[in-house]
Structure 1
Amino acid sequence: MKPFFVLIKCELGRAYEVAAAIADREIASEIYSTAGDYDLLVKFYAEHDSDIGHFVNENVHSVSGIRDTKTIPTFKAF
């Protein structure tokens, strides 16, 4: 399994609703609220041969209340 992170910008006042919707789908390893340009930082795991872009498009972008995302793939743990 390879971890990757998604920064999520939510519609105003909907960060907790979006976080709850992602948690309800049981697809995220960890969900954090953040301050700054993005509202949430979410850690996911994908199979080594899976397409992260497809996963995000199908499982994250379909959550109501999301305005923007930034996907951060990872390569090696230290």
Structure 2
Amino acid sequence: MITAIVLIQTAAERLTEAAQEIADLEGVAEVYSCAGDVDLIAVLRVSDHEKVADIVPGRINKVTGVLDTDTHIAFRSYSRQDTEAGFSLGMEDE
């Protein structure tokens, strides 16, 4: 599974509509509106890099109101849940 984080700039008047259209795309797991340098952050979870290449320039960039995107591919995931699961390996039978 490949996770990509897409930082998205939108036209202010289309932010809500663009966010929903992006969230409805296959392969897009989550979309967040946020304060700061970007308007939206989309999290993609797909099976291969070709799907990232299809979704970002082929679909997200074509949503009305999207002005720019910046895509980041995740290598590893670090979370409290992953750490706790690692420490409980082999403890299932106890």
TM-score range, shorter chain: 0.7 to 0.9
Paired with 2:41 and 2:49, the residues of 1 have a C-alpha distance of: 23
Aligned to 1:4: 4
Provide closer, same or farther for how the CA distance between residues 67 and 49 of structure 1 changes in structure 2, counting only shifts above 3 A. Answer: closer
For structure 2, the 5+ residue unaligned runs are 79-94
Percent identity, aligned pairs only, is: 33
Counterparts of 1:57-72 in structure 2, within 5 Å, are 57-72=57-72
Q: Partners in 1 of 2:39 and 2:22 — Cα distance?
A: 13
Find the aligned partners of 2:20 and 2:34 in 1 and give their Cα distance: 15
Structure label with greater radius of gyration: 2
Q: Between the two structures, name the one with larger relative contact order (CA 8 Å, sep ≥ 6).
A: 1
Greater helix content: 2
- C-alpha distance in 2 between matches for 1:4 and 1:49: 9
1:60 is displaced (CA, Å) by 0.9
Per the TM alignment, residue 37 of structure 1 is displaced from its structure 2 partner at its CA by: 1.4
| Structure 1 residues without counterparts, runs of 5 or longer | none
SS at match of 2:58: helix
- CA RMSD in angstroms comes to 1.7
| Deviating more after overlay: 45-54 vs 12-21 | 45-54
Number of equivalenced pairs: 78
TM-score computed with the length of structure 2 as normaliser = 0.72
Query: In 2, distance between residues paired with 1:49 and 1:17?
Result: 27
Structure 1 residues 30 and 75, CA, compared in 2 at 3 Å: closer, same or farther?
same
Deviation at 1:51, TM superposition (A): 5.7
